[in-house]
Structure 1
Amino acid sequence: MKRLWLTYCFLSLSFMLSAQEKEQQLFLSGYIKNLNEFSFVDQLNQLQWTTLLHNRLNLKYAPTEEIKIRLELRNRMFYGDNLKNILGFSQFIAQDTGMVDLSWNVIDGENVLFNSTIDRALFNYTSGDWDITLGRQRVNWGMNVAWNPNDIFNTYNLLDFDYEERPGSDAIRIQYYLDDFTKIEVAAKKGKSPEDYIVAAMYKFNTWSYDIQFLTGVYQKDCVFGVGWAGNVKDAGFKGEVTYFVPFESYVNAKNVWSASVSVDYGFKKGLYLNASVLYNGTDNDTSNSLGSLVYTNLSAKNLMPFQFSGFLQLAKEFTPLFKGSLSTIYSPTHHSIIALPSMGYSIATNWELDLTGQSFFELEEYKTIGNSFFVRLRWSF
């Protein structure tokens, strides 16, 4: 492990030093964030805290116009109450479901956890109408805002707001453009277990001012079929995704699963933005008791929320070019549960941002609070 860590440090330093010599070919960017979390259930005397120092390095090497090589790393150091109070916290942070394990807990102690993860490591070749990418990458087939049933390769957790880049897959992706608005795409992903693989194709085109896509393939033990669209109804955006999962090993006794989401968004005058979305989850699950731990849950395209029906409503406004705020809520009529997600962001200076975010979980049927978390984040980008 020490050799691995020293190798990583040496490579990072080499990239940063050589970037000064090859400004046209080698690029470095990233950020450093300090995220403080304060959590309690329903009384302030239950208050707990956890601090996360988060560094990201994005390295890109472009020797020619056709070839690009990317290596991107997350370095996270946690200390505080989550390490002691969340069962299996360090194992969850170190989890890597890719074909190659590229996540390491360099320090795993009672009070401090330091994890380093490579979530992008890819080779990209572009020539004419062809675009080919091999390696750890994000294969993003989602079109909706809140929930993406079509995003079968890289499902992300809506509550994990600190991971803007979102997860990647060990995959090969081939895109062929028939014209500026039409393409055929084929992608294949492999994970650790024999059953963890996805092979799918997508056809995307534009008609009647709508972007429309059809996809089909094999998703682990299921045959998968999907459709997505994005367009406008007058001045309002209208998007949707539907994905149908059909087990192919025991089709007679197996249950097929629908996952579907539809959203409408609208930008008002004076900077007010509204987004409303509805999700249908066809899986059999009754996990409302784990609502408060959703942020530490691995979701899938078949199970984007632990409810049959969920609604998402967001109001966002840019008050000034430097100050913005939003209020989002997730409501489930299935279990009468609600999640409130307020946030505010302020640009302190060039490349410096301060964010305040809240996550509160309630069950309305029994009128009880499941948990509250408030986050203060300072970010410097370079």
Structure 2
Amino acid sequence: MKRLLLTYLLLFTLTTIYAQEREEKLFLNGYIKNLQEFSFVDRLEQLQWTTFLHNRLNFKYIPSNSITARLEVRNRVIYGNNVKNIPGFSDYISQDNGIVDLSWNIIYNKDLLFNSTIDRALINYTKGDWDITVGRQRVNWGMNLVWNPNDIFNTYNYLDFDYEERPGSDAIRIQYFTGDFSKIEVAAKKGKSADDKIIAAMYKFNKASYDIQLITGVYKKDWVIGAGWAGNLKETGFKGEISYFVPYESYVDSENVLSGSLSVDYGFPGGLYLHGSVLYNSNAEDSTANLGDLVFTSLTAKNLMPFKYSGFLQIANEFTPIFRWSFSSIYSPTNYSVIIIPSLDYSIAMNWDLNFTGQSFFEFEDYQTLGNILFVRLRWSF
């Protein structure tokens, strides 16, 4: 642990000194966050709490106009009931599916966990119409805001709102821009297991004021084809994604999977914002689906929700330029499952932000409250 802390301190010091001398080439930014989690099922006497102290260091080095190198480190200290009461919590936090395991539990005891993870380590080369990136990176092919069937490389969980950078992959990504609004992109990712591989291509272009993309490739044990679009119906945003998965080892009489999502959003002149989305997931087993599975689950593009049908609705507004609120809900007709997500954001001062977010899980068919969580987060960015 001491060696790791000394290494980060040395990196921080050298970066600061070097950035002062050659400001145009080396950069450092990041943040420190304190997240308090309070949870209970249906009675306050069940209240449990967990403290998350989260530090992020983003190093960027630009030795020339064509080359950029990035190293980004995520350090988390977690203390409280989650550490000691949730089975496999430390394994979930330290999970790393890349070729090289770059996540370490430095300290782990009864109720304290200190994890350090490198989630970005890449070199980017740009020249003319070419853009090539090698290393741990985010390959983002999603177009919707909540559910992304096209985001086959880096699927993320919407409920994990505190991880705004989202997961990365050990990948090679090559982009060739064929025009101002069109490109061909090829990416390949490899994980630890033999089946954990993704090799896919995307063609993106603009037609009738719509950004359209077509994808195809190999997704683990499946062939995948898909399409996505983003545009407007008059003044209303309209986006959609669809992906179809076919097992390539037994494609005859196989159980193919279709995942598709649509979304619309509209901003009123007074600042009120509405966003709605629906998801269809043919891979879901509604008879065994449970909202509780979402909290500590690594989702995949083939299984973005545990239900066949899901809907999302959000309303948001700004009281003032520094004070914003939103109210979101996720609904499925299976067991009349509902997640309610209210949120408040307040900018205290320059680089200081305060957030309150709630997540409540219900199944109204049997009148069950599955859980309630309140998050309080203070963030300082540098």
CA drift at 1:287: 7.1
Range 265-274 or range 283-292, more displaced: 283-292
The alignment yields a C-alpha RMSD, in angstroms, of 1.2
Tell me the residue number matched to 1:358.
358
What are the superposed Cα offsets for residues 324-379 of structure 1, whole Å, 9 maximum, x if unpaired? Answer: 00000000012310000000000000000000000000001001100000000000
Say if 2:50 and 2:80, in contact at 8 Å, map to a contact too. Answer: yes
Tell me, yes or no, if structure 1 residue 211 matches structure 2 residue 211.
yes
Tell me the residue number matched to 2:147.
147
TM value normalised by structure 2: 0.98
Distance in 2 separating the partners of 1:332 and 1:175: 38
Distance in 2 separating the partners of 1:287 and 1:61: 51
Tell me the residue number matched to 2:110.
110
What are the superposed Cα offsets for residues 44-103 of structure 1, whole Å, 9 maximum, x if unpaired? Answer: 000000000000011100011110000001000000100111110001000000111000
Say if 1:32 and 1:56, in contact at 8 Å, map to a contact too. Answer: yes
Tell me the residue number matched to 2:315.
315
TM value normalised by structure 1: 0.98
Say if 2:284 and 2:305, in contact at 8 Å, map to a contact too. Answer: no
Residue 283 of structure 2 aligns with an amino acid whose one-letter code is T
Tell me the residue number matched to 1:381.
381
Tell me the residue number matched to 2:65.
65
Tell me the residue number matched to 1:223.
223
CA drift at 1:23: 0.7
Distance in 2 separating the partners of 1:331 and 1:364: 11
* Structure 1 alignment gaps of length 5 or more: none
- Please list, as runs of the form range in 1=range in 2, the aligned pairs for 1:216-365 lying within 5 A after superposition: 216-286=216-286, 290-365=290-365
CA drift at 1:294: 1.4
CA drift at 1:9: 4.0
- Identical-pair percentage: 69
Say if 2:75 and 2:116, in contact at 8 Å, map to a contact too. Answer: yes
Distance in 2 separating the partners of 1:168 and 1:152: 12
Question: After TM superposition, what 4+ stretches of structure 1 lie above 6 angstroms from structure 2?
Answer: none
CA drift at 1:4: 5.0
CA drift at 1:286: 3.8
Say if 2:289 and 2:307, in contact at 8 Å, map to a contact too. Answer: no
Tell me, yes or no, if structure 1 residue 172 matches structure 2 residue 165.
no
Tell me, yes or no, if structure 1 residue 369 matches structure 2 residue 369.
yes
What are the superposed Cα offsets for residues 142-194 of structure 1, whole Å, 9 maximum, x if unpaired? Answer: 00111000000000000000000000000000000011101000000000100
Say if 1:274 and 1:315, in contact at 8 Å, map to a contact too. Answer: yes
Partner secondary structure for residue 145 of structure 1: coil
Say if 1:323 and 1:346, in contact at 8 Å, map to a contact too. Answer: yes
Residue 106 of structure 2 aligns with an amino acid whose one-letter code is V
Tell me, yes or no, if structure 1 residue 132 matches structure 2 residue 144.
no
What are the superposed Cα offsets for residues 103-155 of structure 1, whole Å, 9 maximum, x if unpaired? Answer: 00011111210000000000000000000000000000000111000000000
Say if 2:35 and 2:376, in contact at 8 Å, map to a contact too. Answer: yes
Say if 2:103 and 2:115, in contact at 8 Å, map to a contact too. Answer: yes
Tell me, yes or no, if structure 1 residue 193 matches structure 2 residue 193.
yes
Partner secondary structure for residue 183 of structure 1: strand
Tell me the residue number matched to 1:101.
101
Say if 1:288 and 1:307, in contact at 8 Å, map to a contact too. Answer: no
Distance in 1 separating the partners of 2:5 and 2:286: 42
* Structure 2 alignment gaps of length 5 or more: none
CA drift at 1:3: 4.6
Q: Structure 1 residues 85 and 65 mapped into 2: Cα distance closer, same or farther (>3 Å)?
A: same
Distance in 2 separating the partners of 1:4 and 1:223: 42
Say if 2:130 and 2:176, in contact at 8 Å, map to a contact too. Answer: yes
Residue 92 of structure 1 aligns with an amino acid whose one-letter code is Y
Residue 49 of structure 1 aligns with an amino acid whose one-letter code is W
Distance in 2 separating the partners of 1:4 and 1:323: 38
What are the superposed Cα offsets for residues 300-324 of structure 1, whole Å, 9 maximum, x if unpaired? Answer: 0000010000000000101100100
Distance in 2 separating the partners of 1:153 and 1:29: 26
Say if 1:97 and 1:192, in contact at 8 Å, map to a contact too. Answer: yes
Tell me the residue number matched to 1:122.
122
Partner secondary structure for residue 193 of structure 1: coil
Distance in 2 separating the partners of 1:326 and 1:366: 28
Tell me, yes or no, if structure 1 residue 48 matches structure 2 residue 48.
yes
Q: Structure 1 residues 104 and 287 mapped into 2: Cα distance closer, same or farther (>3 Å)?
A: farther
